[in-house]
Protein backbone atom coordinates (compact mmCIF):
# COMPACT_ATOMS: atom_id res chain seq x y z
CA UNK A 1 0.00 0.00 0.00
CA UNK A 2 1.62 3.27 -1.07
CA UNK A 3 2.15 5.95 1.62
CA UNK A 4 -0.24 8.93 1.59
CA UNK A 5 0.90 11.82 -0.56
CA UNK A 6 1.98 14.91 1.39
CA UNK A 7 -0.21 18.02 1.16
CA UNK A 8 0.52 20.54 -1.54
CA UNK A 9 0.89 23.34 1.02
CA UNK A 10 2.52 21.98 4.18
CA UNK A 11 1.86 25.23 6.09
CA UNK A 12 -1.94 24.89 5.80
CA UNK A 13 -3.61 23.01 8.69
CA UNK A 14 -5.27 19.73 7.92
CA UNK A 15 -9.09 20.09 8.15
CA UNK A 16 -10.56 18.52 11.28
CA UNK A 17 -12.39 15.26 10.92
CA UNK A 18 -16.19 15.74 11.05
CA UNK A 19 -17.70 13.80 13.97
CA UNK A 20 -19.92 10.91 12.97
CA UNK A 21 -21.92 10.34 16.20
CA UNK A 22 -23.14 12.52 19.06
CA UNK A 23 -20.54 10.91 21.34
CA UNK A 24 -17.79 12.55 19.28
CA UNK A 25 -19.11 16.14 19.49
CA UNK A 26 -18.57 18.78 22.13
CA UNK A 27 -21.49 20.14 24.08
CA UNK A 28 -21.39 23.51 22.31
CA UNK A 29 -21.53 21.75 18.92
CA UNK A 30 -25.04 20.41 19.54
CA UNK A 31 -27.52 22.58 17.64
CA UNK A 32 -30.19 23.00 20.31
CA UNK A 33 -27.50 23.90 22.84
CA UNK A 34 -26.17 26.54 20.45
CA UNK A 35 -29.72 27.91 20.01
CA UNK A 36 -30.15 28.20 23.78
CA UNK A 37 -26.77 29.92 24.09
CA UNK A 38 -27.78 32.40 21.38
CA UNK A 39 -31.03 33.23 23.19
CA UNK A 40 -29.19 33.59 26.51
CA UNK A 41 -26.65 35.88 24.84
CA UNK A 42 -29.43 38.17 23.61
CA UNK A 43 -31.06 38.19 27.05
CA UNK A 44 -27.69 38.93 28.64
CA UNK A 45 -27.10 41.89 26.35
CA UNK A 46 -30.54 43.29 27.19
CA UNK A 47 -29.94 42.81 30.92
CA UNK A 48 -26.53 44.45 30.67
CA UNK A 49 -28.18 47.39 28.96
CA UNK A 50 -30.69 47.55 31.81
CA UNK A 51 -27.89 47.64 34.38
CA UNK A 52 -26.17 50.47 32.48
CA UNK A 53 -29.40 52.34 31.75
CA UNK A 54 -27.75 55.65 32.65
CA UNK A 55 -25.92 55.39 29.32
CA UNK A 56 -28.04 53.01 27.26
CA UNK A 57 -31.30 54.98 27.64
CA UNK A 58 -29.78 58.22 26.21
CA UNK A 59 -28.06 56.11 23.54
CA UNK A 60 -31.29 54.44 22.40
CA UNK A 61 -33.21 57.70 22.67
CA UNK A 62 -30.61 59.43 20.50
CA UNK A 63 -30.85 56.62 17.93
CA UNK A 64 -34.65 56.97 17.90
CA UNK A 65 -34.41 60.75 17.48
CA UNK A 66 -31.91 60.36 14.65
CA UNK A 67 -34.35 58.01 12.94
CA UNK A 68 -37.29 60.37 13.48
CA UNK A 69 -35.44 63.51 12.33
CA UNK A 70 -33.84 61.91 9.27
CA UNK A 71 -36.47 63.31 6.83
CA UNK A 72 -35.93 66.79 8.28
CA UNK A 73 -32.15 66.46 7.90
CA UNK A 74 -32.58 65.43 4.26
CA UNK A 75 -34.99 68.30 3.62
CA UNK A 76 -32.57 70.81 5.16
CA UNK A 77 -29.79 69.46 2.98
CA UNK A 78 -31.89 69.61 -0.20
CA UNK A 79 -33.55 72.99 0.33
CA UNK A 80 -31.11 74.93 2.50
CA UNK A 81 -27.89 73.31 1.29
CA UNK A 82 -26.91 72.43 4.84
CA UNK A 83 -24.55 69.59 5.63
CA UNK A 84 -25.48 66.90 8.11
CA UNK A 85 -23.26 68.47 10.81
CA UNK A 86 -24.94 71.87 10.45
CA UNK A 87 -28.40 70.28 10.35
CA UNK A 88 -27.64 68.33 13.54
CA UNK A 89 -26.56 71.54 15.33
CA UNK A 90 -29.70 73.34 14.14
CA UNK A 91 -31.90 70.55 15.51
CA UNK A 92 -30.06 70.42 18.86
CA UNK A 93 -30.14 74.20 19.38
CA UNK A 94 -33.73 74.43 18.17
CA UNK A 95 -34.81 71.71 20.59
CA UNK A 96 -33.04 73.49 23.44
CA UNK A 97 -34.61 76.88 22.67
CA UNK A 98 -38.08 75.74 21.61
CA UNK A 99 -38.63 72.72 23.86
CA UNK A 100 -36.28 72.56 26.84
CA UNK A 101 -36.33 76.21 27.96
CA UNK A 102 -40.13 76.67 27.57
CA UNK A 103 -40.71 73.35 29.32
CA UNK A 104 -38.58 74.38 32.31
CA UNK A 105 -40.33 77.75 32.56
CA UNK A 106 -43.77 76.20 32.20
CA UNK A 107 -42.91 73.57 34.79
CA UNK A 108 -41.77 76.24 37.25
CA UNK A 109 -44.86 78.41 36.81
CA UNK A 110 -47.05 75.31 36.81
CA UNK A 111 -45.52 74.15 40.09
CA UNK A 112 -46.30 77.55 41.62
CA UNK A 113 -49.89 77.29 40.35
CA UNK A 114 -50.21 73.76 41.69
CA UNK A 115 -48.87 74.68 45.14
CA UNK A 116 -51.19 77.69 45.36
CA UNK A 117 -54.19 75.62 44.28
CA UNK A 118 -53.33 72.81 46.70
CA UNK A 119 -52.92 75.22 49.62
CA UNK A 120 -56.23 76.93 48.86
CA UNK A 121 -58.03 73.61 48.49
CA UNK A 122 -56.64 72.38 51.83
CA UNK A 123 -57.86 75.53 53.59
CA UNK A 124 -61.29 75.25 52.01
CA UNK A 125 -61.58 71.57 52.97
CA UNK A 126 -60.70 72.44 56.58
CA UNK A 127 -63.39 75.15 56.59
CA UNK A 128 -65.91 72.73 55.10
CA UNK A 129 -65.27 70.13 57.80
CA UNK A 130 -65.68 72.62 60.63
CA UNK A 131 -68.72 74.26 59.07
CA UNK A 132 -70.50 70.93 58.57
CA UNK A 133 -69.83 69.93 62.17
CA UNK A 134 -70.99 73.35 63.46
CA UNK A 135 -73.65 74.52 60.97
CA UNK A 136 -74.95 77.32 63.25
CA UNK A 137 -71.56 78.95 63.85
CA UNK A 138 -71.79 82.56 62.62
CA UNK A 139 -68.01 83.03 62.53
CA UNK A 140 -67.57 80.11 60.16
CA UNK A 141 -70.34 81.43 57.95
CA UNK A 142 -68.62 84.82 57.83
CA UNK A 143 -65.32 83.22 56.74
CA UNK A 144 -66.92 81.21 53.93
CA UNK A 145 -64.76 81.04 50.78
CA UNK A 146 -67.92 81.40 48.71
CA UNK A 147 -68.63 79.87 45.38
CA UNK A 148 -69.05 76.12 45.16
CA UNK A 149 -67.72 75.58 48.67
CA UNK A 150 -70.61 77.49 50.27
CA UNK A 151 -73.10 75.69 48.06
CA UNK A 152 -71.54 72.34 48.93
CA UNK A 153 -71.67 73.18 52.65
CA UNK A 154 -75.34 74.20 52.47
CA UNK A 155 -76.20 71.08 50.50
CA UNK A 156 -74.45 68.78 53.00
CA UNK A 157 -76.16 70.49 55.96
CA UNK A 158 -79.55 70.24 54.23
CA UNK A 159 -79.04 66.57 53.36
CA UNK A 160 -77.90 65.85 56.92
CA UNK A 161 -81.02 67.56 58.33
CA UNK A 162 -83.22 65.51 56.00
CA UNK A 163 -81.43 62.35 57.07
CA UNK A 164 -81.94 63.15 60.76
CA UNK A 165 -85.64 63.91 60.17
CA UNK A 166 -86.06 60.64 58.28
CA UNK A 167 -84.36 58.76 61.11
CA UNK A 168 -86.70 60.43 63.64
CA UNK A 169 -89.75 59.41 61.63
CA UNK A 170 -88.36 55.91 61.33
CA UNK A 171 -87.92 55.67 65.10
CA UNK A 172 -91.51 56.83 65.63
CA UNK A 173 -92.74 54.22 63.17
CA UNK A 174 -90.77 51.55 65.03
CA UNK A 175 -92.25 52.66 68.34
CA UNK A 176 -95.77 52.48 66.90
CA UNK A 177 -95.06 49.05 65.46
CA UNK A 178 -93.73 47.77 68.79
CA UNK A 179 -96.77 49.19 70.62
CA UNK A 180 -99.11 47.48 68.14
CA UNK A 181 -97.25 44.20 68.61
CA UNK A 182 -97.56 44.52 72.36
CA UNK A 183 -101.31 45.17 72.06
CA UNK A 184 -101.68 42.11 69.90
CA UNK A 185 -99.76 40.00 72.42
CA UNK A 186 -102.00 41.23 75.22
CA UNK A 187 -105.07 40.38 73.17
CA UNK A 188 -103.73 36.90 72.46
CA UNK A 189 -103.11 36.27 76.13
CA UNK A 190 -106.51 37.62 77.09
CA UNK A 191 -108.26 35.32 74.64
CA UNK A 192 -106.26 32.32 75.76
CA UNK A 193 -107.11 33.04 79.39
CA UNK A 194 -110.81 33.45 78.66
CA UNK A 195 -111.12 30.30 76.63
CA UNK A 196 -109.07 28.35 79.21
CA UNK A 197 -107.69 26.21 76.43
CA UNK A 198 -104.05 26.30 77.43
CA UNK A 199 -101.88 23.24 77.97
CA UNK A 200 -102.76 21.02 80.99
CA UNK A 201 -101.15 22.05 84.22
CA UNK A 202 -100.91 25.74 83.30
CA UNK A 203 -102.82 28.23 85.32
CA UNK A 204 -104.78 31.13 83.89
CA UNK A 205 -102.88 34.16 82.81
CA UNK A 206 -101.62 36.06 85.86
CA UNK A 207 -102.57 39.57 84.88
CA UNK A 208 -101.33 40.93 88.20
CA UNK A 209 -97.84 39.35 88.01
CA UNK A 210 -95.45 42.10 86.74
CA UNK A 211 -92.38 39.87 86.83
CA UNK A 212 -93.65 37.42 84.26
CA UNK A 213 -92.35 38.17 80.77
CA UNK A 214 -93.56 36.19 77.77
CA UNK A 215 -92.01 36.62 74.33
CA UNK A 216 -94.26 37.16 71.29
CA UNK A 217 -93.20 33.78 69.87
CA UNK A 218 -94.10 32.04 73.13
CA UNK A 219 -97.48 33.76 73.19
CA UNK A 220 -98.21 32.71 69.62
CA UNK A 221 -97.30 29.08 70.42
CA UNK A 222 -99.71 29.03 73.36
CA UNK A 223 -102.47 30.59 71.26
CA UNK A 224 -101.93 28.11 68.45
CA UNK A 225 -101.87 25.20 70.94
CA UNK A 226 -105.22 26.41 72.21
CA UNK A 227 -106.65 26.26 68.69
CA UNK A 228 -107.44 29.97 68.49
CA UNK A 229 -107.10 31.84 65.18
CA UNK A 230 -104.38 34.49 65.22
CA UNK A 231 -105.72 37.99 65.55
CA UNK A 232 -105.71 40.17 62.49
CA UNK A 233 -103.80 43.41 62.92
CA UNK A 234 -103.39 46.44 60.73
CA UNK A 235 -100.32 45.89 58.46
CA UNK A 236 -99.55 49.59 58.68
CA UNK A 237 -99.12 49.20 62.45
CA UNK A 238 -97.23 45.91 62.54
CA UNK A 239 -94.91 45.79 59.49
CA UNK A 240 -91.42 47.18 60.03
CA UNK A 241 -90.45 50.01 57.73
CA UNK A 242 -86.94 49.91 56.24
CA UNK A 243 -84.47 52.49 57.53
CA UNK A 244 -84.09 55.59 55.38
CA UNK A 245 -81.31 55.57 52.80
CA UNK A 246 -79.34 58.61 51.75
CA UNK A 247 -78.43 59.27 48.14
CA UNK A 248 -75.24 57.90 46.62
CA UNK A 249 -73.84 61.40 46.11
CA UNK A 250 -74.44 62.31 49.74
CA UNK A 251 -72.91 59.04 50.92
CA UNK A 252 -69.84 59.60 48.75
CA UNK A 253 -69.36 63.16 50.01
CA UNK A 254 -69.80 62.09 53.62
CA UNK A 255 -67.36 59.23 53.12
CA UNK A 256 -64.75 61.72 51.92
CA UNK A 257 -65.44 64.06 54.84
CA UNK A 258 -65.24 61.17 57.31
CA UNK A 259 -61.95 60.00 55.82
CA UNK A 260 -60.43 63.47 56.06
CA UNK A 261 -61.71 63.84 59.65
CA UNK A 262 -60.36 60.43 60.69
CA UNK A 263 -56.98 61.08 59.07
CA UNK A 264 -56.67 64.69 60.14
CA UNK A 265 -54.01 63.82 62.72
CA UNK A 266 -51.88 61.91 60.21
CA UNK A 267 -52.29 64.66 57.63
CA UNK A 268 -51.28 67.24 60.21
CA UNK A 269 -48.19 65.25 61.14
CA UNK A 270 -47.28 64.96 57.48
CA UNK A 271 -47.67 68.71 57.04
CA UNK A 272 -45.40 69.30 60.05
CA UNK A 273 -42.75 66.89 58.79
CA UNK A 274 -42.81 68.59 55.41
CA UNK A 275 -40.84 71.48 56.84
CA UNK A 276 -38.31 69.14 58.43
CA UNK A 277 -37.91 67.24 55.16
CA UNK A 278 -37.61 70.38 53.06
CA UNK A 279 -33.81 70.10 52.86
CA UNK A 280 -33.91 66.47 51.72
CA UNK A 281 -36.62 67.37 49.21
CA UNK A 282 -34.47 70.14 47.78
CA UNK A 283 -31.46 67.83 47.61
CA UNK A 284 -33.45 65.11 45.85
CA UNK A 285 -34.91 67.66 43.46
CA UNK A 286 -31.48 69.05 42.60
CA UNK A 287 -30.16 65.50 42.13
CA UNK A 288 -33.04 64.61 39.81
CA UNK A 289 -32.52 67.82 37.85
CA UNK A 290 -28.81 67.08 37.54
CA UNK A 291 -29.46 63.54 36.29
CA UNK A 292 -32.00 64.87 33.80
CA UNK A 293 -29.55 67.46 32.47
CA UNK A 294 -26.81 64.83 32.27
CA UNK A 295 -29.14 62.50 30.37
CA UNK A 296 -30.09 65.34 28.04
CA UNK A 297 -26.42 66.11 27.39
CA UNK A 298 -25.67 62.46 26.59
CA UNK A 299 -28.70 62.27 24.32
CA UNK A 300 -27.62 65.37 22.39
CA UNK A 301 -24.04 64.06 22.23
CA UNK A 302 -25.04 60.68 20.82
CA UNK A 303 -27.65 62.26 18.55
CA UNK A 304 -25.00 64.40 16.86
CA UNK A 305 -22.91 61.37 15.91
CA UNK A 306 -25.89 59.24 14.93
CA UNK A 307 -27.30 62.05 12.81
CA UNK A 308 -24.05 62.86 11.03
CA UNK A 309 -23.26 59.18 10.46
CA UNK A 310 -26.74 57.87 9.81
CA UNK A 311 -25.62 56.10 6.65
CA UNK A 312 -23.02 54.10 8.56
CA UNK A 313 -25.65 53.21 11.16
CA UNK A 314 -27.94 51.81 8.47
CA UNK A 315 -25.09 49.86 6.86
CA UNK A 316 -24.16 48.38 10.25
CA UNK A 317 -27.66 47.03 10.86
CA UNK A 318 -27.99 45.90 7.25
CA UNK A 319 -24.78 43.91 7.62
CA UNK A 320 -26.41 41.80 10.34
CA UNK A 321 -29.04 40.45 7.93
CA UNK A 322 -28.24 37.06 6.28
CA UNK A 323 -27.42 37.49 2.60
CA UNK A 324 -29.83 34.91 1.22
CA UNK A 325 -32.83 36.60 2.90
CA UNK A 326 -31.66 40.20 2.74
CA UNK A 327 -33.99 41.24 -0.07
CA UNK A 328 -37.10 39.86 1.64
CA UNK A 329 -36.14 41.26 5.04
CA UNK A 330 -35.34 44.71 3.63
CA UNK A 331 -38.70 44.80 1.84
CA UNK A 332 -40.52 44.02 5.10
CA UNK A 333 -38.44 46.59 6.98
CA UNK A 334 -39.34 49.25 4.42
CA UNK A 335 -43.04 48.50 4.85
CA UNK A 336 -42.70 48.65 8.64
CA UNK A 337 -40.65 51.82 8.38
CA UNK A 338 -43.45 53.53 6.48
CA UNK A 339 -45.94 52.47 9.14
CA UNK A 340 -43.84 53.28 12.22
CA UNK A 341 -42.35 56.48 10.86
CA UNK A 342 -45.71 57.73 9.65
CA UNK A 343 -47.42 57.02 12.93
CA UNK A 344 -44.66 58.05 15.35
CA UNK A 345 -43.57 61.19 13.51
CA UNK A 346 -47.13 62.16 12.75
CA UNK A 347 -48.47 61.45 16.22
CA UNK A 348 -45.62 63.29 17.95
CA UNK A 349 -46.20 66.32 15.73
CA UNK A 350 -49.94 66.24 16.44
CA UNK A 351 -49.24 65.82 20.16
CA UNK A 352 -46.98 68.90 20.17
CA UNK A 353 -49.71 70.97 18.49
CA UNK A 354 -52.36 69.73 20.94
CA UNK A 355 -50.14 70.45 23.96
CA UNK A 356 -50.01 74.10 22.91
CA UNK A 357 -53.73 74.12 22.09
CA UNK A 358 -54.88 72.61 25.40
CA UNK A 359 -52.53 74.80 27.45
CA UNK A 360 -53.68 78.06 25.84
CA UNK A 361 -57.34 77.00 25.80
CA UNK A 362 -57.40 76.02 29.47
CA UNK A 363 -55.72 79.29 30.35
CA UNK A 364 -58.30 81.20 28.31
CA UNK A 365 -61.35 79.57 29.92
CA UNK A 366 -59.95 80.01 33.45
CA UNK A 367 -58.90 76.51 34.54
CA UNK A 368 -56.74 76.67 37.70
CA UNK A 369 -53.31 75.16 37.14
CA UNK A 370 -53.64 75.34 33.36
CA UNK A 371 -49.86 75.24 32.90
CA UNK A 372 -49.89 71.75 34.43
CA UNK A 373 -53.19 70.36 33.18
CA UNK A 374 -52.81 71.59 29.59
CA UNK A 375 -49.51 69.81 28.81
CA UNK A 376 -50.69 66.68 30.66
CA UNK A 377 -53.88 66.42 28.60
CA UNK A 378 -51.95 67.23 25.42
CA UNK A 379 -49.53 64.38 26.12
CA UNK A 380 -52.49 62.06 26.64
CA UNK A 381 -53.43 62.69 23.01
CA UNK A 382 -50.61 60.28 22.10
CA UNK A 383 -53.10 57.58 23.09
CA UNK A 384 -56.37 57.33 21.16
CA UNK A 385 -59.46 58.73 22.90
CA UNK A 386 -57.69 59.22 26.27
CA UNK A 387 -57.35 63.01 26.24
CA UNK A 388 -61.07 63.29 27.06
CA UNK A 389 -60.19 62.40 30.66
CA UNK A 390 -59.01 65.97 31.12
CA UNK A 391 -62.53 67.36 30.68
CA UNK A 392 -64.00 66.24 34.05
CA UNK A 393 -60.75 67.24 35.79
CA UNK A 394 -61.00 70.74 34.31
CA UNK A 395 -64.66 70.95 35.36
CA UNK A 396 -63.81 69.95 38.93
CA UNK A 397 -60.97 72.46 39.20
CA UNK A 398 -63.16 75.26 37.85
CA UNK A 399 -66.02 74.29 40.18
CA UNK A 400 -63.74 74.39 43.23
CA UNK A 401 -62.22 77.71 42.21
CA UNK A 402 -63.30 80.69 44.34
CA UNK A 403 -61.97 83.55 42.24
CA UNK A 404 -65.41 85.16 42.10
CA UNK A 405 -65.37 85.99 38.36
CA UNK A 406 -68.08 85.41 35.78
CA UNK A 407 -66.27 82.17 34.85
CA UNK A 408 -67.61 80.62 38.07
CA UNK A 409 -71.08 80.31 36.49
CA UNK A 410 -72.28 76.72 36.27
CA UNK A 411 -72.94 76.88 32.53
CA UNK A 412 -69.38 78.06 31.89
CA UNK A 413 -67.88 75.47 34.25
CA UNK A 414 -69.63 72.68 32.35
CA UNK A 415 -69.69 74.02 28.82
CA UNK A 416 -66.21 75.52 28.45
CA UNK A 417 -64.16 72.32 29.06
CA UNK A 418 -66.54 70.33 26.86
CA UNK A 419 -66.15 72.92 24.11
CA UNK A 420 -62.35 72.78 24.36
CA UNK A 421 -62.39 68.99 24.13
CA UNK A 422 -64.76 68.97 21.14
CA UNK A 423 -62.67 71.57 19.35
CA UNK A 424 -59.49 69.59 20.05
CA UNK A 425 -61.08 66.39 18.74
CA UNK A 426 -62.24 68.18 15.59
CA UNK A 427 -58.76 69.64 15.12
CA UNK A 428 -57.19 66.21 15.61
CA UNK A 429 -59.60 64.10 13.53
CA UNK A 430 -60.34 66.38 10.59
CA UNK A 431 -57.32 68.67 10.20
CA UNK A 432 -54.13 67.39 11.85
CA UNK A 433 -54.45 63.63 11.38
CA UNK A 434 -55.43 63.68 7.67
CA UNK A 435 -52.73 66.23 6.80
CA UNK A 436 -49.87 65.02 9.01
CA UNK A 437 -50.42 61.35 9.79
CA UNK A 438 -52.78 60.22 7.08
CA UNK A 439 -53.48 56.51 6.69
CA UNK A 440 -49.97 55.41 7.59
CA UNK A 441 -51.08 52.54 9.84
CA UNK A 442 -53.73 51.22 7.40
CA UNK A 443 -55.96 50.23 10.36
CA UNK A 444 -59.57 51.09 11.09
CA UNK A 445 -60.84 52.65 14.32
CA UNK A 446 -62.03 49.39 16.01
CA UNK A 447 -58.64 47.77 15.38
CA UNK A 448 -56.81 50.79 16.79
CA UNK A 449 -59.05 50.82 19.87
CA UNK A 450 -58.61 47.07 20.42
CA UNK A 451 -54.83 47.32 20.05
CA UNK A 452 -54.67 50.21 22.52
CA UNK A 453 -56.77 48.41 25.15
CA UNK A 454 -54.83 45.16 24.74
CA UNK A 455 -51.47 46.94 24.92
CA UNK A 456 -52.49 48.83 28.04
CA UNK A 457 -53.79 45.67 29.72
CA UNK A 458 -50.59 43.74 28.97
CA UNK A 459 -47.85 46.35 29.44
CA UNK A 460 -49.44 49.43 30.98
CA UNK A 461 -48.45 52.85 29.67
CA UNK A 462 -45.60 51.47 27.57
CA UNK A 463 -48.03 49.07 25.96
CA UNK A 464 -50.35 51.94 25.11
CA UNK A 465 -47.48 53.82 23.47
CA UNK A 466 -46.27 50.97 21.26
CA UNK A 467 -49.61 49.20 20.72
CA UNK A 468 -50.59 50.81 17.42
CA UNK A 469 -47.18 50.62 15.62
CA UNK A 470 -46.69 47.08 16.91
CA UNK A 471 -50.16 46.05 15.74
CA UNK A 472 -49.46 47.57 12.31
CA UNK A 473 -46.18 45.63 12.05
CA UNK A 474 -47.90 42.42 13.14
CA UNK A 475 -50.51 43.03 10.47
CA UNK A 476 -47.73 43.22 7.86
CA UNK A 477 -46.16 39.98 9.11
CA UNK A 478 -49.51 38.20 9.12
CA UNK A 479 -50.29 39.43 5.62
CA UNK A 480 -46.89 38.46 4.21
CA UNK A 481 -46.21 35.19 6.08
CA UNK A 482 -49.16 33.72 7.96
CA UNK A 483 -52.09 34.09 5.57
CA UNK A 484 -50.24 32.70 2.50
CA UNK A 485 -49.30 29.58 4.51
CA UNK A 486 -52.85 29.24 5.84
CA UNK A 487 -54.26 29.42 2.31
CA UNK A 488 -51.74 26.85 1.07
CA UNK A 489 -52.62 24.56 3.98
CA UNK A 490 -56.35 25.02 3.31
CA UNK A 491 -55.82 24.09 -0.38
CA UNK A 492 -53.84 20.98 0.58
CA UNK A 493 -50.51 22.33 -0.66
CA UNK A 494 -48.83 22.16 2.79
CA UNK A 495 -48.95 19.76 5.71
CA UNK A 496 -49.35 22.55 8.28
CA UNK A 497 -49.86 26.31 8.42
CA UNK A 498 -46.87 27.16 10.64
CA UNK A 499 -44.98 30.02 8.90
CA UNK A 500 -41.54 28.54 9.62
CA UNK A 501 -39.41 26.68 7.09
CA UNK A 502 -37.54 23.49 8.01
CA UNK A 503 -34.18 24.56 6.57
pLDDT at residue 358 tops 90: yes
Tens of pLDDT, residue by residue over 38-66, are 899 989 988 888 888 888 888 888 888 88
pLDDT confidence of residue 275: 47
Per-residue pLDDT tens over the stretch 105-160: 777 777 777 777 777 777 777 777 777 777 777 777 777 776 677 777 777 777 77
CA distance 195 to 226: 8
All residues at 6 or more sequence positions from 448 whose CB lies less than 8 Å from its CB, including other chains = 384, 441, 468, 471
- What's the pLDDT at 135? 76
Contact between 307 and 66 under an 8 Å Cβ cutoff? The reply is yes
Residue 214 reports pLDDT greater than 80 = no
Contacts of 158-166 with C-beta under 8 Å, sequence gap 24+, read: 159/246, 159/247, 159/250, 160/132, 163/244, 163/246, 163/250, 166/244
Q: Which residue would you say has higher pLDDT here, 167 or 113? A: 167
Each residue of 324-363: b (16+ CB within 10 Å) or e? eeeeeeeebbebbeebbbbbbbbbeebbebbbebbbebbe
Measured CA distances, 461 to 84, 341, 375, 425, 454 (Å): 34, 20, 17, 22, 11
**How sure is the predictor about 261, in pLDDT bands with cuts at 50, 70 and 90?**
low
User: What CA–CA distances, in Å, run from 33 to 41, 136, 307, 322, 377?
Assistant: 12, 82, 39, 21, 50
Q: Which of 410, 358, 374 is nearest to 113 (CA)?
A: 374
Q: What CA dihedral angle connects 30, 35, 37 and 38, to 10 degrees?
A: 140
Q: Structural domain boundaries of the chain?
A: 146-245, 344-440, 441-498
The CB density around residue 400, as the number of other CB atoms within 10 Å, is 19
Q: What percent of the chain has pLDDT over 70?
A: 69
Residue range 183-202, pLDDT digits in tens: 888 777 777 766 554 444 44
Quick: pLDDT tens for 403-455.
666 667 778 888 999 999 999 988 888 888 777 766 655 666 677 778 778 87
Full-model pTM? 0.58
pLDDT of residue 170: 85
User: How confident is residue 204, by pLDDT bands cut at 50, 70 and 90?
Assistant: very low
Checking if the pLDDT of 224 tops 50, the result is: no
Amino acid sequence: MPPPSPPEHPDEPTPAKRPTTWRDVHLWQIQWVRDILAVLAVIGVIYLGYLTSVVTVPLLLALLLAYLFEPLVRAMGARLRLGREAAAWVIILGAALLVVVPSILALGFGAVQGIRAARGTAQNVDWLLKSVEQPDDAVLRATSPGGAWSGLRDWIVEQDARRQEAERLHREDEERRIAAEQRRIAEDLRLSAIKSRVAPGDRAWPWDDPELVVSPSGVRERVWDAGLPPPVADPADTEATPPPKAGLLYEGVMWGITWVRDNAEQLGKKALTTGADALSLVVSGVTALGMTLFGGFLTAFFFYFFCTGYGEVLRFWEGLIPERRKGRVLDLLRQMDRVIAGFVRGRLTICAVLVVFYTLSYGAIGVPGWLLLGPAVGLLSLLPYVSGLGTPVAMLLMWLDTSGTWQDAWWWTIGAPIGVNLLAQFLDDYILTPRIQGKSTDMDVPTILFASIAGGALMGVYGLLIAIPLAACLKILVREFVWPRVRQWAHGERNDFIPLSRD
